[in-house]
Structure 1
């Protein structure tokens, strides 16, 4: 099955991509997709942490088909063919120069 992943904010800056498509096996969970993303983009290991069931970075916003996903259930959600997963971290701070 194919799942589209959109990257926004800091994640887009880190990997230099707006979106990409992942080909997953039927019945894959969000956890499986996140593992695939980290395997593809080493720069995201600090944001998307899967090992030892540790929580995903609390600043990570995950949306499935336009709806925000509850942080406590992010990794156990089953995906379907054609789903769109959006990953973003807010960008904050910095100094604006005139």
Structure 2
């Protein structure tokens, strides 16, 4: 039975925060288990394995990035829209280096 208050969304959000703070390579099941004060095995209720966790961080980051770019280009066209797109993309990568790194990982087919 999952620990009360521990959800997949919370696990992924904590992994994303850890990636930003310490780098994507610091994101491990053990590190997150320590963060939540649980045993490693408890997290496997929420993610299949380390690759699944990192893919979920990548999907979270991709969604955030898309939202920020959409807001930046709304109502703009041409060069102005392109500059807004590039600015939002760069700003996200600088503000969230670990999350951005997750969007660059190669995902192996299952």
Please identify the structure whose Cα radius of gyration is greater.
Answer: 2
State whether TM-score is above 0.5: no
Structure with greater helix share of residues: 2
Q: Comparing both structures, which one devotes a greater share of its residues to strand? A: 1
TM-score (norm 1): 0.29
